[in-house]
C-alpha cells in the first residue's frame, strides 16, 4: 500500500489525523501518570467527603 503524502491529503483527512493523534497522545500521557493521578483523585474525593461530613449542619 502506497503512503499518501501530507500535502496530497484533504483538509478533512489532515484534521482527522491531528484529532486522533492528540487524543492518542492524551491517552498515553494519562496512562503514564495514572499512578500519580488516581491516588490524588481518591485523596481529593475523600477529603471532600470528610469536609462535607464535618461541616454538616
- 29 within 8 A of 36, measured Cβ to Cβ: no
pLDDT reported for residue 25: 96
Tens of pLDDT, residue by residue over 1-57, are 778 888 899 999 999 999 999 999 999 988 888 888 888 899 999 999 999 999 876
pTM: 0.53
pLDDT reported for residue 26: 93
pLDDT reported for residue 6: 86
pLDDT reported for residue 51: 92
pLDDT reported for residue 57: 65
Query: 26: part of which helix (H) or strand (E)?
Result: helix 11-32
d(CA 43, CA 39) in angstroms, rounded, equals: 6
Backbone phi and psi for residue 34, each to the nearest 5 degrees, phi listed first = -65, -30
Amino acid at each position: 500500500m502506497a503512503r499518501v503524502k501530507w500535502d496530497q491529503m484533504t483538509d478533512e483527512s489532515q484534521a482527522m489525523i491531528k484529532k486522533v493523534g492528540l487524543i492518542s497522545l492524551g491517552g498515553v500521557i494519562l496512562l503514564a501518570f495514572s499512578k500519580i493521578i488516581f491516588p490524588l483523585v481518591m485523596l481529593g474525593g475523600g477529603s471532600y467527603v470528610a469536609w462535607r461530613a464535618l461541616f454538616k449542619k
